Structure 1
Amino acid sequence: MEKLNDANICSIKPLVTPEHLKEDFPVSDALKDQIILNRKEIRNILEKKDKRMLAIVGPCSIHDPVAALEYATKLVALREKYKSRLCIIMRVYFEKPRTALGWRGLILDPDLDDSYKLEKGLRQARKLLLEINNLGLPAGSEILDPIVPQYISDLISWAAIGARTTESQTHRELTSGLSMPVGFKNGTDGSMDVAINGIHSAQHPHSFIGIDKKGQTCVLSTAGNKTGHPILRGGKRGPNYYEEIIEDTEELLIKEGLRPVVLIDCSHENSGKKYYRQERVMNSIMDQRSRGRDSIVGFMLESNIHEGKQSIPEDKNQLAYGVSITDACISFESTIQILDSAYQVLGKLKS
């Protein structure tokens, strides 16, 4: 007899609650204060109270926590070295939206084999975020699944809504209740309308279905998140980091009553998905900043220990260490050169 319910559900398994996961990986009072301060610094940069630039830097995605922690250890030294002009945040992405099919990230599939051991993924993600933050390095991440933030959002200082979900009402409502600054990427076609609509929507109160720390299904009511800002990542029509496009974006934001500030993603369509072109995008960003375009308050770089990318082999022991399995990244050596160049340009600007 054909089922009325769950006709296409193969299994249902209970998952650890957010409360229990946080008990296993607790945040100290000192670390809470540090993350609150990190978020305040980011807000101050977005509001131009702080003249530094935001630098969201790190792997396209995290698939190896050991390599990710090594990367973080390297990056925290650069955060300290360049802190007077750059506010460096590590890109720590655990979920990957897919255009069709593909590996969906460490949280959903930590063993890279379609086994979907979500509890293992959540534990690895929270443990790694704790380790990164305890180094003194803020973490930034994309918010994709609407339940996952209950498990890890207390350890995130900056968040992004991706190009594929920036038009999603679910993600706009979710953002309205998040505690950190959130950037909305332009749509995959390159249009800014969906990002601006997302920022507007997230600024207002919403009510929606979610879970609390005990895993209980609830109606969550929010106050609205006033820290939304656009991220330019290019689109099907090409890059959108050129000066005339930035000018048009500024005008559009002012017209819509929004703060005229942008972050620029040096990867994705802005680099034509060629990782080595990220430096070209950064050169344009810093040229524009040097000529007074301070609406560009930050940038994103996809960077790893080693450059390029690799496919996931059947034998996971064959994975190359410190190399991306999603979008290709620049090497850490190139990252140092790019950040140092940005630091030098900012040092020449009039205060």
Structure 2
Amino acid sequence: MSNVDIRIRKTESLATPDELIKKFPVSEEIASSINLSRQVVNDIIKGRDHRLLAIVGPCSLHDRKAALEYAHRLKDLAEKVKDEMYIVMRTYFEKPRTVLGWKGLILDPNMDGSYDIGSGIAIARSLLLDIVSIGMPVGCEVLDPIIPQYIDELMSWSSIGARTTESQIHRNLASGLSVAVGFKNSTSGDLSNAINAIQCAYNPASFIGMDRSGASTIFRTTGNDCCHLILRGGDNSPNYYEDDVESARNMMIKSDLNPAIIIDCSHANSRKNYDRQKRVLRSVVDQVCWGEKAIKGFMLESNLICGSQKIPSDLSDLKYGVSITDGCLGWDETERILIRSCEMLHRSFQGDGQSMPL
């Protein structure tokens, strides 16, 4: 009688990253565009580019058609605001859960608990490829440490979530990722775990993982000097105000870190009310206009249509363009507040110093 894998019900083979990359290849032209967008993001984090990094998009992606429509709209908007903002589309395929819930398109693409992960990874890579092909940079949250081997060459920015910031596995992974990585503060609001994570990721690390051929491999990293802090609030207490940013900046400087901060306009900063995101953005822009150099950007949860919906038993009842996870701002409001924010920033950079309400 075997005493191995006694709680494993079934195993299934999975395509290797190399196999999927051959199926959905990245052309030299697209690779060059991604490298350029990565450099812009890095320059913003490092303070070499004065623009704000704007991570904008749905809380999670679940519908290919809606995601591509959103990407095309966002690409047009990015051109309008390019002098003051550099937009990266939020393309989240993995959703960490406190207890239960839909875990994202990669793990459960059919949204029915069937967990067709192989199809989910293929859908994610092909969708990212379609989005970057129109010139829209993408950013993802890294949750499963193996998934980056399938999609990392397509990303221009990445984040580590509040629930995984303390994980040594994710800190090691961030130290070897080819993109800038933002660490969110803990769900409690504590900043020390995220700052410790940034320090760890700045330094070289060695860890075990899977390479693109599917083989177990030891990765030895150089360290990632473009890591930064994401303030997302905690325990329903926002932390985007001036005093909060000042405290975070001073903590990073004390730890000999580049004081680069991105403000998450959603989650606890908006008290889980998607419409309050514009209040957070207004504060962010106002602080930047008044000279806060540590703020390098913001995150905004936005979709084609505002609000959210539960996954129905009959998927044909899903509303098009509406989030199935956290509530999002609708497109019209997203466009309005981003353009207005750029007007405020432009006035500030021109020396006016005046701001006007969103």
Counterpart residue type for residue 88 of structure 1: I
Counterpart residue type for residue 245 of structure 2: I
* TM-score normalised by the chain length of structure 1: 0.98
Deviation at 1:131, TM superposition (A): 0.6
Counterpart residue type for residue 11 of structure 1: K
Determine the structure 1 residue equivalent to 2:138. 139
Determine the structure 2 residue equivalent to 1:334. 333
Query: Any residues of structure 2 matched to 1:141-156 within 5 Å, and which?
Result: 141-156=140-155
Deviation at 1:17, TM superposition (A): 0.4
- 5-14 or 288-297, larger mean C-alpha shift: 288-297
Matched, 1:58 2:37: no
Determine the structure 2 residue equivalent to 1:306. 305
Instruction: State how far apart, in whole Å, the 2-side matches of 1:275 and 1:237 are.
Output: 13
Determine the structure 1 residue equivalent to 2:285. 286
SS class of match (2:136): coil
Counterpart residue type for residue 277 of structure 2: Q
Counterpart residue type for residue 184 of structure 2: K
Deviation at 1:205, TM superposition (A): 1.2
Instruction: State how far apart, in whole Å, the 2-side matches of 1:237 and 1:277 are.
Output: 13
Deviation at 1:154, TM superposition (A): 0.4
Instruction: State how far apart, in whole Å, the 1-side matches of 2:23 and 2:236 are.
Output: 47
Q: Provide structure 1 residue ranges, at least 5 long, that are not aligned to the other structure.
A: none
Determine the structure 1 residue equivalent to 2:22. 23
Determine the structure 1 residue equivalent to 2:114. 115
Residue correspondences, number:
350
SS class of match (1:307): coil
Deviation at 1:282, TM superposition (A): 0.8
Determine the structure 2 residue equivalent to 1:102. 101
Instruction: State how far apart, in whole Å, the 2-side matches of 1:241 and 1:208 are.
Output: 34
* 1:292-342 deviations in Å (ceiling 9; x for gaps): 112111000000000000000110000000000000000011100110111
SS class of match (2:176): coil
Counterpart residue type for residue 65 of structure 1: R
Determine the structure 2 residue equivalent to 1:267. 266
Instruction: State how far apart, in whole Å, the 1-side matches of 2:149 and 2:328 are.
Output: 29
Determine the structure 2 residue equivalent to 1:246. 245
Determine the structure 2 residue equivalent to 1:124. 123
Asked if the contact 2:236–2:271 (Cα under 8 Å) also holds between the matched residues in 1, the reply is: no
Determine the structure 2 residue equivalent to 1:85. 84
Counterpart residue type for residue 6 of structure 2: A
* 1:48-93 deviations in Å (ceiling 9; x for gaps): 1111000000000001111101100100001111111110000000
**Structure 1 runs (4+) greater than 2 angstroms displaced:** none
Deviation at 1:237, TM superposition (A): 5.5
Counterpart residue type for residue 104 of structure 2: G
* Superposed CA RMSD: 0.9
Counterpart residue type for residue 77 of structure 1: D
Instruction: State how far apart, in whole Å, the 2-side matches of 1:339 and 1:22 are.
Output: 35
Instruction: State how far apart, in whole Å, the 2-side matches of 1:350 and 1:131 are.
Output: 35
Instruction: State how far apart, in whole Å, the 1-side matches of 2:340 and 2:7 are.
Output: 54
Instruction: State how far apart, in whole Å, the 1-side matches of 2:35 and 2:258 are.
Output: 22
